[in-house]
Chains A and B, each alone.
Chain A
């Protein structure tokens, strides 16, 4: 629903800015979805004066005006018949935007025109397109139209929740704000002059279904003048997104937007036998509604009728047969309440959606019907003249007693966990229109105002109190804790999960070590891993220090299993290693180590059984990092002495070594009595966690254009690495080259000595277009050229 800031200010003296108001509304449960600043589009339109008018030499209907815009005279061609010399008009200069059109210099039938004189419709101010908009005499020339019309306003588009139909009018919102901001609410005053006609002599009301129509008020106003609404009214109507039609219809719409309660006006002269009957539709009855549509009714639908025909679909839409026209003289004003479920059924079935049924479907107040009737009649007499017939026809059988609700102030305090005294509780609720009946320290009772049907229980009142008090004013009473190191915990689990999935078995060993084991690993004398924490009273020399690497225990586990004829092994341990430090938190690091030997995969009826090799291990590490979302790591030749020459790799993240992997030098393995190829890795998880190198996991757009694949087979000197060649290919066009897969590598008889054959599958892709064959061919040639230049390759 749209709420105008200016309109709102008529009922409540808001001192805060629209921006602050937005915050207050949203945090009071009236969520502001968008804010629109009105009048912006009229700022480029100027108030100008027609100082000369001549007829167009080549077109009868056009005239050539000289317009003064406050600075200069401009020649403008105008087609409106009402344009005349001396008028103040709304002038759209070249470059301004009217509706969706940008005004340009134009030639109309051979005559230059520098701008446009606008109609109200063109400016979006009304449906009036009869001629140009004529402004009042003596208007200040040169000011912008927004200023002239006092059109600046801020419009809040708010979401009204279904429990609050009372907020479907601006007064309802003002009432809530008055409670929220502690400001007085000013309701509009009505004055209803007494006339000599009596309504009972002129109109009859019969309500045949008081269940579906709990209240119906009809009033008669004679001799009104139906015409265009005054400016202020049109402005209000426009500001909340409605279109001005005529003064009577505009007033009913205005009052609906003001009070949130819909009304309807009928042309009295169209009512057969001067009757208004609220009744169920008859079988096979049909209406033509104000939206020009014909609707077939069923007996369940409620209609307003005269003695012969329906004149409105109750609470939903009026019929054409009784609508207000320019010829209308006498009118009947309907203010009623219709059962929400009945309105909903009919509007749903006929797929009609109007401002009126939107409100009735949410439940309106019987009492409010009288308020809006008074307000509408008062405005009509003020604006459209006429005389109001004496009295009302009011069908109101079941006058409901006001609802009473009690609350326990102690419950309020404990439930909301806020410090609030009884007086404040009462103040909040009274501000919302509740009336205090009874008060004790245990219990406070209120009557609920007619427009707040949503308040029926203590908990409803508690909600109102906290809404006004402010959700954000509830102090935190944190009953939860944040002790866990969730990141490290998750990292350890992820590593375990990954390795189990890769076929590894977890081992558990005593975390003691034999200092001699580091000699067996050829770990150098000054290596930090020799900085042991020693135990004063160990259970034996082999267990005399705390471990600084997990590898010796894994070798021991491997040996045990090999000796028990279990030769295909994938083992890992994830636990702490220890190092000397005065700082207790730096002594212990979670580390994971693994060991692979034998067949990489278990025996299976048509797989080829292969012994594990370096690239099996490297793949595991790469997959692990992928799984852990570690993207930026580098692998370099290892500095460890226990890896076989050229088959060990140190892993670096942020230039820091976090671990290594590779094939264990057979002589080192022998030191641990193992005479088989052994592959190991060791990664310091605490380090990895500290570096915090994990990539944020976010969705990447799936390519809209199909990728193109090309194979490239080359002969290249063994001196050049795959990495060098890969980088060379990528760098040719990193945006389009998406992936490079090495699918073959061989050397041997067919290949010249010192050379190797490599085959790549290159994937090309684009986010914006389908790559043409021609484009790919050019790029491919460029890749080959680069490779030839840099690495002297030959194509195969």
Chain B
């Protein structure tokens, strides 16, 4: 029995030393350590020995078994280390190769700027109001203090659907729609598409505008200037100043045009701003009391301001796009630039 034990030990040692894979080790481990291991067999045979030898020999078996266990554990950790090292060297790649990218798309710069403008105004507490592209003369002209004989009503400027029905020429129609349905306070913007019967390098028959309208008690000219300034800085950058200067619109009094510092030369004067240092952004003014009166809003109690600008123009200014037609060509090489 002694020889049998010695033989088992020698055999196991040899076997374990020669093992090269973790799987193999696992299977030998269960062979030697498990319930049916040859050591357990030997233990069972103990009773064949003389009584006084049994404890001594039992101890020997256990020692051998423990040694074997230790050996397996050591072998296991050395094999694991080896596997780890191999995995490192096997997985070396050329890290300068391009990453696996998901191909994202992009919005047309008009929509991109449109959303940016909405976000700036939403951050300042404005609601986004919806209007109709197909409007009537009342909302597009009468209510906006544009008299019957005004040249803007000419067929050559306005697309007509019917006698009284037209494609809106400005988003100011939404002002009227909102004031018809809501009492102040009102603080909205209305982005949308407008139409004018014009088609050349700097005019598109369909174009995009955004209009802002604020009506409440105690709204002053200073509020208009402050909101405009903040809006311009948030849209174009903190260093972009704005100013307003007198102008005429039928539905605002006083009326103004909005200028911002030239985005190209930052005020020094260049070909974009024609040496002025300023570029025109849009129109603004305090809502004319006539407009309020037509809509049944008390012009003594309430005051308000409105301003508007072309979204397409903002996009062109912001991205320095030279030709308006590029916005509508939808050339994928162009669109890819606005990711």
Q: How large is the interface on A (under 10, 10 to 19, 20 to 34, 35 or more residues)?
A: 35 or more
Given that A539-B199, A578-B133, A584-B132 are known contacts, is A507 also in contact with B100, CB under 8 Å in the complex?
no
Per the bound structure, the CA–CA distance linking A569 and B336 in Å amounts to 11
Contact check, B98 vs A566: say whether CB atoms are below 8 A apart: no
Cβ distance A571 to chain B, nearest Cβ, rounded Å: 7
**Closest Cβ neighbor of A581 among chain B residues:** B134
**Interface residue stretch chosen among B155-163, B242-250, B297-305:** B155-163
Check: A215 CB closer than 8 A to any chain B CB. no
Contact check, A481 vs B182: say whether CB atoms are below 8 A apart: yes
Cβ distance B153 to chain A, nearest Cβ, rounded Å: 13
Per the bound structure, the CA–CA distance linking A546 and B206 in Å amounts to 11
Contact check, A484 vs B129: say whether CB atoms are below 8 A apart: yes
Per the bound structure, the CA–CA distance linking A537 and B106 in Å amounts to 34
Per the bound structure, the CA–CA distance linking A571 and B336 in Å amounts to 11
Contact check, B206 vs A537: say whether CB atoms are below 8 A apart: no
Given that A535-B167, A584-B134 are known contacts, is A506 also in contact with B106, CB under 8 Å in the complex?
yes
Check: A475 CB closer than 8 A to any chain B CB. no
Q: Which of A534-556 contact B (CB under 8 A)?
A: 534-539, 543, 546
Among B132, B161, B162, B216, max chain A CB count under 10 A is at B161
Check: B46 CB closer than 8 A to any chain A CB. no
Check: A718 CB closer than 8 A to any chain B CB. no
Which residues from B are CB-within-8-Å of A575? Answer: 193
**Closest Cβ neighbor of A482 among chain B residues:** B127
Contact check, A484 vs B128: say whether CB atoms are below 8 A apart: yes
Q: Which of B200-218 contact A (CB under 8 A)?
A: 204-206, 216
Q: Which of A478-528 contact B (CB under 8 A)?
A: 479-485, 488-489, 493, 496, 499-512
Per the bound structure, the CA–CA distance linking A557 and B130 in Å amounts to 27
Which residues from A are CB-within-8-Å of B130? Answer: 485, 488
Per the bound structure, the CA–CA distance linking A539 and B329 in Å amounts to 18
Contact check, B133 vs A588: say whether CB atoms are below 8 A apart: yes
**Interface residue stretch chosen among B8-16, B108-116, B144-152, B278-286:** B108-116
Check: B185 CB closer than 8 A to any chain A CB. yes
Contact check, B328 vs A508: say whether CB atoms are below 8 A apart: yes
Check: A570 CB closer than 8 A to any chain B CB. yes
Contact check, A571 vs B330: say whether CB atoms are below 8 A apart: yes
**Closest Cβ neighbor of B139 among chain A residues:** A584
Contact check, A483 vs B161: say whether CB atoms are below 8 A apart: no
Which residues from A are CB-within-8-Å of B162? Answer: 536
Cβ distance A350 to chain B, nearest Cβ, rounded Å: 50
A496 contact from B107, B182, B185, Cβ within 8 A: B107
Check: A576 CB closer than 8 A to any chain B CB. yes
Check: A561 CB closer than 8 A to any chain B CB. yes
Contact check, B105 vs A483: say whether CB atoms are below 8 A apart: no
Contact check, A500 vs B105: say whether CB atoms are below 8 A apart: yes
**Closest Cβ neighbor of A501 among chain B residues:** B104
Check: A775 CB closer than 8 A to any chain B CB. no
Q: Contact flags (1/0) for B212-228 with A, using CB distance below 8 Å?
A: 00001000000000000
B185 contact from A479, A484, A561, A585, Cβ within 8 A: A479
Q: How large is the interface on B (under 10, 10 to 19, 20 to 34, 35 or more residues)?
A: 35 or more
Check: B232 CB closer than 8 A to any chain A CB. no
Contact check, A564 vs B155: say whether CB atoms are below 8 A apart: no
Which residues from A are CB-within-8-Å of B129? Answer: 483-484
Per the bound structure, the CA–CA distance linking A569 and B111 in Å amounts to 19
Contact check, A481 vs B132: say whether CB atoms are below 8 A apart: no
**Interface residue stretch chosen among A105-113, A308-316, A597-605:** A597-605
Contact check, B188 vs A510: say whether CB atoms are below 8 A apart: no
Check: A587 CB closer than 8 A to any chain B CB. yes
Cβ distance B57 to chain A, nearest Cβ, rounded Å: 45
Which residues from B are CB-within-8-Å of A546? Answer: 133-134
Per the bound structure, the CA–CA distance linking A500 and B112 in Å amounts to 11
B160 contact from A482, A535, A564, Cβ within 8 A: A535
Check: A560 CB closer than 8 A to any chain B CB. yes
Which residues from B are CB-within-8-Å of A588? Answer: 132-134
Which residues from A are CB-within-8-Å of B205? Answer: 510, 512, 539, 543
Given that A483-B182, A500-B107, A539-B197 are known contacts, is A569 also in contact with B133, CB under 8 Å in the complex?
no
Which residues from A are CB-within-8-Å of B329? Answer: 560
Cβ distance B151 to chain A, nearest Cβ, rounded Å: 16
Per the bound structure, the CA–CA distance linking A510 and B199 in Å amounts to 11
Among A483, A503, A569, A607, max chain B CB count under 10 A is at A483
Which residues from A are CB-within-8-Å of B167? Answer: 535
Per the bound structure, the CA–CA distance linking A496 and B104 in Å amounts to 12
Per the bound structure, the CA–CA distance linking A587 and B178 in Å amounts to 18
Which residues from A are CB-within-8-Å of B156? Answer: 537
Check: A533 CB closer than 8 A to any chain B CB. yes
Check: B87 CB closer than 8 A to any chain A CB. no
Which residues from B are CB-within-8-Å of A604? Answer: 98, 100-101
Contact check, B335 vs A507: say whether CB atoms are below 8 A apart: yes
Which residues from A are CB-within-8-Å of B97? Answer: 605
A481 contact from B159, B185, B331, Cβ within 8 A: B185
Q: Which of B78-99 contact A (CB under 8 A)?
A: 97-98
Which residues from A are CB-within-8-Å of B155? Answer: 536-537
**Closest Cβ neighbor of A566 among chain B residues:** B332
Q: Contact flags (1/0) for A463-482 with B, using CB distance below 8 Å?
A: 00000000000000001111
Per the bound structure, the CA–CA distance linking A506 and B335 in Å amounts to 8
Per the bound structure, the CA–CA distance linking A561 and B330 in Å amounts to 8
Which residues from B are CB-within-8-Å of A566? Answer: 331-333
**Closest Cβ neighbor of B184 among chain A residues:** A481
Contact check, B132 vs A564: say whether CB atoms are below 8 A apart: no
Contact check, B185 vs A506: say whether CB atoms are below 8 A apart: no
Contact check, B127 vs A576: say whether CB atoms are below 8 A apart: no
Contact check, A481 vs B127: say whether CB atoms are below 8 A apart: yes
Among B98, B102, B105, B204, max chain A CB count under 10 A is at B105
Which residues from A are CB-within-8-Å of B133? Answer: 511, 546, 576, 578, 588
Contact check, B115 vs A493: say whether CB atoms are below 8 A apart: yes
A480 contact from B103, B185, B336, Cβ within 8 A: B185
Per the bound structure, the CA–CA distance linking A537 and B332 in Å amounts to 32
Which residues from A are CB-within-8-Å of B240? Answer: none
Given that A587-B132, A588-B133 are known contacts, is A560 also in contact with B330, CB under 8 Å in the complex?
yes
Per the bound structure, the CA–CA distance linking A561 and B331 in Å amounts to 6
Per the bound structure, the CA–CA distance linking A509 and B178 in Å amounts to 27
Which residues from A are CB-within-8-Å of B206? Answer: 510-512
Cβ distance A196 to chain B, nearest Cβ, rounded Å: 78
Contact check, B186 vs A481: say whether CB atoms are below 8 A apart: yes
A500 contact from B106, B160, B178, B193, Cβ within 8 A: B106
Q: Which of A554-593 contact B (CB under 8 A)?
A: 557, 560-561, 564, 566, 569-571, 574-576, 578, 584-585, 587-588
Check: B187 CB closer than 8 A to any chain A CB. yes
Which residues from B are CB-within-8-Å of A560? Answer: 329-331
Check: B327 CB closer than 8 A to any chain A CB. yes
Cβ distance B177 to chain A, nearest Cβ, rounded Å: 10
Contact check, B188 vs A500: say whether CB atoms are below 8 A apart: no
B204 contact from A479, A480, A502, A510, Cβ within 8 A: A510
Per the bound structure, the CA–CA distance linking A484 and B100 in Å amounts to 41
Which residues from A are CB-within-8-Å of B188? Answer: 481, 483-484
Cβ distance A587 to chain B, nearest Cβ, rounded Å: 5
Q: Contact flags (1/0) for B68-84 with A, using CB distance below 8 Å?
A: 00000000000000000
Known contacts A543-B205, A561-B331; 10 further A-B pairs (Cβ under 8 A): A488-B130, A496-B111, A501-B105, A510-B205, A510-B328, A536-B155, A539-B205, A560-B329, A561-B332, A584-B136
Q: Which 3 interchain pairs have the tightest Cβ spacing?
A: A507-B330, A484-B127, A506-B107
- Some 20 contacts from A to B, beta carbons below 8 A apart, are A481-B186, A482-B127, A483-B129, A493-B115, A496-B111, A500-B106, A501-B105, A503-B103, A505-B332, A506-B108, A512-B206, A534-B161, A535-B161, A537-B160, A557-B330, A575-B193, A576-B133, A578-B134, A584-B132, A584-B136
Binding site for A on B (CB under 8 A): 97-98, 100-108, 110-111, 115, 127-130, 132-134, 136, 155-156, 159-162, 167, 178, 182, 185-188, 193, 197, 199, 204-206, 216, 327-333, 335-336
